Homo-oligomer: A and B are copies of this chain.
């Protein structure tokens, strides 16, 4: 019952791997092809579909965590010992001693990784990372890479939609409580990359170098009430403790009858003592209506600049609806809707850190080529589900911008193609035969490579960087994205293309595989 068990962290190092990668690695080892150079590519297949709406783009995140992991990756003695205990159904050892002896040599020093930097706007079906290295070693990276890029990208994307919906008003991330257990640490970070303004998660804030934010919960009022004080006493106690950071939660008893008048009393006392109150928070009821009514009362009391924080089940759709309602309803109460919206902030928790409506990003990591005698041989998989067919070959990935300097398409091409020098690019839809177009070089203002070196020869090339850097990439990419693609409902489909040469390579490879 009480046997000693390994610490969870020990299971999240080299053993952050699916068993089949190890069984395949052993097979490669036994066949003597474990050191054959191989190319694996990572992408996601489709944009998050939230049911009510669908993202038209994603925001890349998670690379820093992946590289932290790659740096620390070791098959250490406890891991090897554990693998040595595994058996097949006949009771024989699953992993043979020779393979287990080789495993500690596996480090990612022999693998080179390219990736799209964090914060960049990225698209479905486009290669976002490439791992090049010995077949068995690159194979063993599959789960760790997908695990550490998929969820953060999902959350950065959701945060970006929230930020767009919030019309530039602050989005305060506070979802760690219902977030996916320890995954919430990177969830908070990804939210900040994607557009959230602050996080309530103190541990994550420390780790990523952000400033945590937060005020108080109902429990503070409840405790004071139960101990014989009043809501007003509780607010006073809070203002006394935090005179320059006083945001009061006004819905513990009754928002309009109790919380708001008490808050105003305390705000007046604060101001008399030389402090400026920060705001109130509404956490239940009809948030749009209560925001209008609160603004009306606060304005009348001379607090027309205090922030009104809204929270409770918010995401990009709820925020959009709240703002729409305020646009229509505020003037009935003598409140200017624009002024009100300019003082709002949004607490976004559960639905942000769990990507409400679309709980996963469908990331894949696929073998696209192996080296045979010094040249890359394309590797395919022909699937009964067209989206699952692999585009083979050693590629380059670029974004082309049109004359307005807006992003026109993400293009995958053979590595050997000269895209810059060509008079025109022959582009095809990756799957549909009928969708093709020629883009003249003169119509392209810029051809930008998307994949940058992240890790090579045991060295980290994508340096650790402040969150603001990744966030800046998002802002800049969104400015160069067609507004139709950014639209919340039914976004315009961004062009993802492959060149005619890559199309031909796939056709030939598939045909050879069928004939084999």
Contacts and interface: CB of A to CB of B under 8 A. Distances in A.
A206 B253 contact: no
A434 interface: no
Contacts of A205: 11, 19
Nearest to A388: B284
A92 interface: yes
A242 to B, nearest CB: 6
B360 A8 contact: no
A278 B23 CA distance: 15
A455 to B, nearest CB: 15
Contact of A182 (B30, B183, B221, B241): B183
A359 B362 contact: no
Interface size class for chain A? 35 or more
Nearest to A378: B226
A203 B12 contact: yes
Contacts of A350: 360, 362
Given A227-B36, A379-B226, A201 B18 contact: yes
Report copies per complex: 2
A15 B206 contact: yes
Contact of A219 (B139, B185, B228, B230): B139
Interface in A266-300: 278, 284-286, 290
Interface string A186-200: 110000000000001
A383 B183 contact: no
A27 interface: yes
A147 B179 contact: yes
Contacts of A227: 33, 36, 370, 372, 377
Interface string A370-381: 101000011111
Given A1-B466, A223-B367, A200 B381 contact: no
Interface stretch (A101-109, A170-178, A397-405, A419-427): A170-178
12 contacts: A5-B207, A11-B202, A18-B177, A23-B216, A27-B241, A27-B242, A147-B184, A151-B181, A178-B363, A179-B183, A180-B354, A354-B360
